[in-house]
Amino acid sequence: MAAQDNSWKTDQFRSKVVAQIEDAIRQSGNPMTKSSVEMEKHVFQRANTREDYLALVARLIIHVRE
């Protein structure tokens, strides 16, 4: 079970999140000052749990789309 709790820390999981952020940036049509990789790294460093991470990613994507 502990392995599942840390699955959000894997490169594969994080790469999927980066792709989602990139997609949101493309759809918004707005230029960003940071790359999707930089944005994800910032969110990852702030998150303490999977729930924190996913909540921060969701807020980031909503912000990018606005």
* pLDDT at residue 5 tops 90: no
What is the predicted pLDDT for the residue at 21?
A: 97
Residue of 13, 12, 63 lying closest to 39 (CA atoms): 63
Q: Is the pTM of this model over 0.75?
A: yes
Instruction: Please name the fold of domain 2-65.
Output: Serum Albumin; Chain A, Domain 1 (1.10.246)
* pLDDT at residue 1 tops 50: no
What is the predicted pLDDT for the residue at 59?
A: 98
- Domain ranges for the chain: 2-65
| Segment 18-58, tens digit of pLDDT | 999 999 999 999 889 999 999 999 999 999 999 999 999 99
The phi, psi pair for 30, rounded to 5°, reads: -95, 135
- HSE of 15, CA atoms in CB hemisphere, 13 A: 3
